[in-house]
Amino acid sequence: MTTGDLISPRELSFGRTVERRLVHRASVAEVFVTDLVPAGESRFLAAAQLPLSHGYYSDHLARPAHFDPLLILEAGRQAGIAGAHLLGLPPDTTMMVNTFSLDLPDPAALRTGRRPGELRIDNHFETLRVRAGRVRKGAVRQDLYIGDVPVGTHTMEVQIVTHAEHEALRTVLRGTPAPLTGDLEDVPASGQAEPYTVGRVSPMNVVLSQVERGPSAVSARVTPRYGNRAIFDHDYDHLPAMTLTEAARQLALVALGDVAAWPATVSGSFGRFAELDQPVLAAATRTDAGDGTVTVNVAFIQEAITIAESTMVMVPR
């Protein structure tokens, strides 16, 4: 694909964000998508501005500074949601992530400069399941560029339900209505990890506690701060995929003992909801490839059941 293909039919704009409801955000400050351009029946182009200074995505000890892979993941997620609405998905829709895979092979391509990053996303949608005339399952494949430079790819598969169906599903699965993050106390958990051990500066951005290190594995409780509005922009009735992915990244850094390590590949699968009123344990194992890369596999366990998994291929930078 050429740069001309990417930016046609008109140059993408980075002048202002899209309407926040298009990307399911409450705060305009947490919207990164700035433009959407249809480019075919199931293709559209998107622009997102990557901030240089953000209380969550820029809070890293490693230097020199790079755009956070999870920021790019969030921008891609937002572009996928907005694009789905652009292609006709109703506004009363919830998209629940089944799986995703992000590949950013060259850390140097994501090094920050003096201006915000201009992320261009070429999106291709695929309908995977239709029932009663409604799309119920879909996937998006994204080619990622900063400026004119290809930096990686992202794929995401989602289940699609209405808000009412989501609420009914949660009640049926639990037997009772689920609590909301806004109803929970925002205090550090007992044994909360020190920020420097997970590559962070602010304690508000630490999502692990009770970290235990073994000879070949590490584990921790997943305990984010519910008052962190970058993680919980609005109320949730579960720990979302992005929060579990941050927990996996932090645990990977603990497993490596290197807060400067870079997640070049990040993938996740989410089979069950991570309930707020039961402890979630993250357990990680590492495999050294011998070429400097380390693969860290993280399982999320709740009530003795693996509810989600994440794999990160970590590289030195």
Per-residue pLDDT tens listing for the chain (317 residues): 444 455 544 589 999 999 999 999 999 999 999 999 998 889 999 999 999 999 999 999 999 999 999 999 999 999 999 988 888 888 888 889 999 999 999 999 999 999 999 999 999 998 888 888 787 888 999 999 998 899 999 999 999 888 888 888 898 989 988 999 999 999 999 999 999 999 999 999 999 999 999 888 999 999 999 999 999 999 999 999 999 999 999 999 999 999 999 999 999 999 999 999 999 999 999 999 888 899 999 999 999 999 999 999 999 87
What is the model's pLDDT at position 4? 46
Taking alpha carbons only, the member of 28, 49, 51 closest to residue 147 is 49
Residue 79 inside a domain? The answer is yes
* Same domain (yes/no): 74, 10: yes
Residue 174 inside a domain? The answer is no
Taking alpha carbons only, the member of 203, 198, 157 closest to residue 284 is 198
Residue 173 inside a domain? The answer is no
pTM of this structure:
0.94
Quick one: tokens of 181? 């993050």
Residue 277 inside a domain? The answer is yes
How many domains, in total, are found in the chain? 2
Residues 6+ positions from 155 with CB-CB distance below 8 Å = 100, 101, 139, 140, 141, 142
Residue 172 inside a domain? The answer is no
Domain that holds residue 87: 3-167
* Same domain (yes/no): 269, 135: no
What is the model's pLDDT at position 108? 92
* Same domain (yes/no): 62, 132: yes
Residue 21, φ and ψ in degrees, nearest 5: -70, -20
What is the model's pLDDT at position 10? 56
Q: At which of 121, 147, 167 does a domain end?
A: 167
What is the model's pLDDT at position 5? 53
* Same domain (yes/no): 142, 216: no
* Same domain (yes/no): 153, 286: no
Q: At which of 116, 143, 167 does a domain end?
A: 167
- Write down the residue that tokens 């930016």 correspond to: 7
What is the model's pLDDT at position 6? 52
* Same domain (yes/no): 80, 144: yes
Nearest-angstrom CA–CA distance, 251 and 268 = 14
* Same domain (yes/no): 94, 132: yes
* Same domain (yes/no): 187, 284: yes
What is the domain-level CATH number for residue 199? Answer: 3.10.129.10
* Same domain (yes/no): 77, 195: no
* Same domain (yes/no): 20, 152: yes
